Structure 1
Amino acid sequence: MSDTIRAHGLIVDDDVLYARTLQRALARHGVETRLAHDAATALVLAREATPDFALVDLKLGEDSGLVLIAPLREVDAHMRILLVTGYASVATAVESIKRGADDYLPKPATVPAILRALGLETDTADAGNEPATPERMIPLQRLEWEHIQQALQETDGNVSAAARLLGMHRRSLQRKLGKRPGPERKPDPD
């Protein structure tokens, strides 16, 4: 765990488990954060102690994280605002940037990707000035699994409703649910 605090931030996400996990992971990199699970709490916390940055989920229950961008800018015009979402699309990326977000990351965003977006990256190689090893992308099967889980959550576990939401046949969804992705493999050294 890092002893030096490099930045203070605000995580705004209605997924309590994800927010706490991300908070712990950032703390290991010297980034202290406060948690808010809705827009109102986020604004109260930002006004109490202005953060250096805010990681804002696009979907906050029934609300949109997009509505938080302008009020957070009013708190501090220099605050870095990153929109993080499991529903990544070009349209929402463009809309978030138009509203004043500094960056847009798809969920599940890795800690190195978040640190890079915040300008807090520390992944430089040793004194040899070699570039750091590039971060691996999240495997497609894992992204598909996460997307299916989100659809199931939205439909309270109703497989038929989730299949309609995803635009697929119920039986196809059931087959996919039977194939939970395994652990990620390490890349083969070249």
Structure 2
Amino acid sequence: MPGTVTFLPSEADYISASRANYRCQLRTIAVWRRLLIVSAVVGGLVAAGLWALDGDPVEALLTGIAAGACGFLAAPVSLWINYRRLPRQFGRLFRQQRPLHGEQTLTWDESRLHWQGPGFTMDTAWGDYYRWHESRDEFLLFLNERMPQFIPRAAMNAEQAADLHATLVAHGPPRR
């Protein structure tokens, strides 16, 4: 069933969408694989350096393993700090990008999503989207893995949200 939503995005909407996107990225194996690789490389460098300086390979290996493990265990602190910085970063980006401040209208049916805002019109087939994600506050639609479009739930009534969800399940890309 075709649906239409009109909304005026706010700074809070952009911040909420950025946080939802960040949480989606943290759920991917790729992020944790990269952290594990970096930790292993750091541990290896520490072990190699200690072995070269001290000459005791067992002690160097154990210290390198401990250094890598500490680095991997410290990663969540860094990720949490990044998460806490998102409101400031995305609030500033929203304030700088004036075209985002205008009213936007979305229309969808079984084949596409039509998005119109101040200075742009975008007509995208569901098959062109990479993934989608539904959170408590918004729907995220990914054209690539990094930059989602978002539709705030506050702009929709329950029927519109259910219709968009059903359309995405039936005709959209895989869910993230």
TM-score band by shorter chain is: under 0.3
Q: Which has more radius of gyration?
A: 2
Structure with the bigger percentage of strand: 2
Structure showing greater relative contact order (alpha-carbon pairs closer than 8 Å, 6 or more residues apart)? 2
Q: TM-score, normalised by structure 1?
A: 0.24
